[in-house]
Structures are given as C-alpha cells and as structure tokens.
Amino acid sequence: MRALPYFLAGLFVALPALAADPSVIGEKNAKDVVTIRAPEAATSKQTLPFFPGVSGQNAGARGLSLLKVVIPPGGSAAPHVHKGYESAIYLLQGTVETRYGEKLEKRVVNVAGDFIFIPADVPHQPTNLSQTEPAIAIVARNDPDEQEHVILLPKQ
C-alpha cells in the first residue's frame, strides 16, 4: 500500500493510502495495523444482526475475532455452540438472559457492564429481555473465522 504525505504541525507524516474498500484501512500482511471502520450489519448463523469487526477475513487475524452483536427487542439467538472456541462478551446495553447447558437447563441474567465468559463447546442461547430496546454486546473469540465453527442446535 502506498503512503500519502501529510503535513501536520510542521512535520511531514506518511499516512496509508485508502484501500479499495474504504471500510478497511491497512493491509492483511501481519505487518500493518488494520482498521475496520463502520462495517455493515450481516446476519449470523444464530439469526442475529452482527457487525464484523476484526477477523481473519477482513483484518488477517490469525487467532481471534472481535465483533458487535445486536439482539433486537424481545429477540434471541438460535441455540448454538462455538465448536472448540471460547467467547468473551462485554454487554454494552440491555438485559440478556442466557440459557445454557446440554439441554439449556441453566440460566444467567446479565446487565449492561457485565463481562461474560462462555467456555468452548457450551450450548447457549441469549435472549434480550427488553421488548423495546436492543441489547448490544462486543464479542471476542479465539477464532479468526467467527462463523465457521458455529454449530446450530435443535430448538429446545
């Protein structure tokens, strides 16, 4: 990627040229910092809107992914597991009940500000308890291909 000169406070600074995709700044070469700017929402296998942040596909990450997930008012994800991968979640907004366990028999309720850890291979299903406001979370996984190892489970 070609650097563009920029005059800042009396100094010339080299800024990276814009990539063909204006939402990705930098190159996936394991040497550059990559910025993902305002990605568009996609729909996950779990049927939730998500905003792919950092992943192997868009940033060249080799061991992690980071994204924003929105659970619409009254909505829930399809029951699922992340086969072989852990998840760490920070709940930015909302109140979410997560059913989990082999038969989704256990439950935990989380509120904005909670940090949540889901071990690899644990069946789970988050549900937004609000009927009027979306729940919003930042999700990190030790999997660079966020959707590849999502296994949907039969509805309980």
pLDDT digits (tens, 9 = 90+) for 26-51: 999 999 999 999 778 999 999 999 99
Where does CATH 2.60.120.10 sit in the chain? 40-152
Return the SS3 of 59: helix
**Domain 40-152 indexed as CATH 2.60.120.10:** yes
pLDDT digits (tens, 9 = 90+) for 62-114: 999 999 999 999 999 999 999 999 999 999 999 999 999 999 999 999 999 99
- Rounded Cα distance between 17 and 131, Å, is 44
- In this predicted structure, the answer to whether residue 3 has a pLDDT above a threshold of 90 is no
- In this predicted structure, the answer to whether residue 20 has a pLDDT above a threshold of 90 is no
pLDDT digits (tens, 9 = 90+) for 7-18: 444 444 444 443
Quick one: pLDDT at residue 5?
Answer: 44
Beta strands in 1-156 (DSSP E): 3-8, 11-16, 24-25, 35-36, 42-43, 49-54, 65-71, 80-82, 87-93, 95-100, 106-111, 115-118, 124-128, 135-141, 150-152
